[in-house]
């Protein structure tokens, strides 16, 4: 199968590496010639171009659009003239509802996708073949989605070692608002709150004393600003609902502490610890 990856960042580069390793014929498209160069040198792709038109030479059976979210629809529209009628197209955007309907209208063989994997190091520099291994990879079919296109994408997800999770776009967006987008705002708020401490002695001491607990809690909040913006912009309603639910929980914790309701606070923290253990990603942790 011939697969084209449009956008060779962390996700696109990692998909290319793994699919090449799995024996597929993989081409890349990147506007940046240096990225093409690096993808070729790392053996992620067997060919690479800077223009979408070059795809007519490769004639891919699958195209995965791995651009930033805001460019997915424009990229697809620009791609259409160069696709053969049987080509399946997917994307890897972290929000699906604003993409999947319009993209399917543009191209009937579109299937929305979202691999649940990432790392702090961005770009092709961070790419690694095993980024998706054992991770969920969401595919978001809608009633108009063609079954054969979905089947092709399921094969591709299996090929990168990920686990297929099927969800409709709206449900996907609400779930990631909770576990992926809300944590960015939670961490960003933590960094911002500490940093506005007015007593410079206390702020300096806080920075000195910050340990692994602070580092982990704030990590995704201190991540790439453009990614945080993208989540907020394209998943605005679900993220706002999550932020409001979160603030209600914080207020409840504050009131327990304010009212010195220590038995209730202990019970709450015990319940939280049980809930925390119900997330598969936490299982095996002590």
Min CB(112)–its own copies separation in Å: 14
d(CA 286, CA 236): 35
Q: Kindly tell me which of 26 and 256 has the beta carbon lying closer to its own copies.
A: 256
Cβ partners under 8 Å of residue 190, min gap 6: 214, 217, 218, 221
Q: Pick the closest to residue 107 from 138, 82, 76 (CA basis).
A: 76
Answer for the pair 127, 14: CB distance below 8 angstroms, yes or no: yes
Two tokens at 179? 């576990």
Min CB(79)–its own copies separation in Å: 26
Q: Kindly tell me which of 105 and 272 has the beta carbon lying closer to its own copies.
A: 272
Min CB(208)–its own copies separation in Å: 6
Min CB(101)–its own copies separation in Å: 19
Instruction: Note the helical H segments in 131-224.
Output: 147-159, 169-176, 182-195, 200-209, 212-218
The sheet with strand 113-115 has its strands ordered as 113-115, 136-139, 163-166
Cβ partners under 8 Å of residue 87, min gap 6: 60, 61, 62, 63, 109
> Rounded to 5 degrees, what are φ and ψ at 84?
-85, 155
Q: Pick the closest to residue 4 from 56, 63, 53 (CA basis).
A: 63
User: Containing H/E element for 10?
Assistant: helix 10-21
Q: Kindly tell me which of 78 and 243 has the beta carbon lying closer to its own copies.
A: 243
Q: Kindly tell me which of 143 and 213 has the beta carbon lying closer to its own copies.
A: 213
Min CB(284)–its own copies separation in Å: 11
Q: Kindly tell me which of 22 and 186 has the beta carbon lying closer to its own copies.
A: 186
Min CB(222)–its own copies separation in Å: 3
Q: Pick the closest to residue 67 from 98, 96, 29, 41 (CA basis).
A: 29
Min CB(27)–its own copies separation in Å: 28
Q: Kindly tell me which of 1 and 243 has the beta carbon lying closer to its own copies.
A: 243
Two tokens at 17? 């590496």
Q: Kindly tell me which of 110 and 137 has the beta carbon lying closer to its own copies.
A: 137
């Amino acid at each position: 199968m011939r697969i084209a990856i449009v956008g060779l960042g962390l996700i696109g580069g990692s998909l290319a590496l793994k699919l090449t390793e799995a024996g597929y014929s993989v081409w890349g498209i990147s506007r940046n010639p240096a990225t093409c160069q690096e993808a070729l040198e790392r053996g992620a792709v067997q060919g690479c171009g800077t223009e979408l038109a070059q795809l007519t030479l490769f004639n891919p059976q699958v195209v995965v659009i791995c651009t930033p979210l805001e460019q997915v629809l424009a990229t697809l529209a620009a791609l259409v003239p160069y696709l053969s009628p049987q080509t399946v197209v997917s994307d890897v955007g972290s929000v699906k509802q604003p993409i999947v309907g319009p993209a399917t209208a543009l191209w009937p063989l579109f299937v929305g996708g979202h691999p649940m994997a990432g790392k702090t190091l961005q770009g092709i520099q961070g790419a690694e073949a095993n980024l998706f291994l054992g991770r969920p990879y969401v595919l978001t079919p809608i009633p108009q989605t063609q079954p054969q296109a979905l089947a092709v994408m399921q094969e591709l997800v299996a090929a990168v070692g990920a686990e297929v999770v099927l969800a409709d776009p709206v449900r996907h967006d609400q779930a990631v608002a909770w576990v992926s987008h809300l944590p960015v705002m939670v961490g960003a708020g933590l960094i911002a709150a500490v940093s506005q401490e007015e007593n410079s002695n206390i702020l300096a001491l806080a920075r000195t004393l910050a340990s692994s607990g602070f580092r982990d809690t704030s990590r995704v909040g201190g991540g790439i600003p453009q990614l945080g913006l993208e989540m907020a912009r394209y998943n605005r309603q679900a993220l706002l609902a999550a932020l409001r639910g979160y603030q209600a929980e914080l207020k409840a914790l504050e009131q327990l502490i304010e009212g010195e309701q220590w038995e209730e606070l202990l019970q709450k923290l015990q319940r939280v610890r049980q809930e925390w253990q119900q997330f598969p990603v936490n299982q095996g942790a002590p």
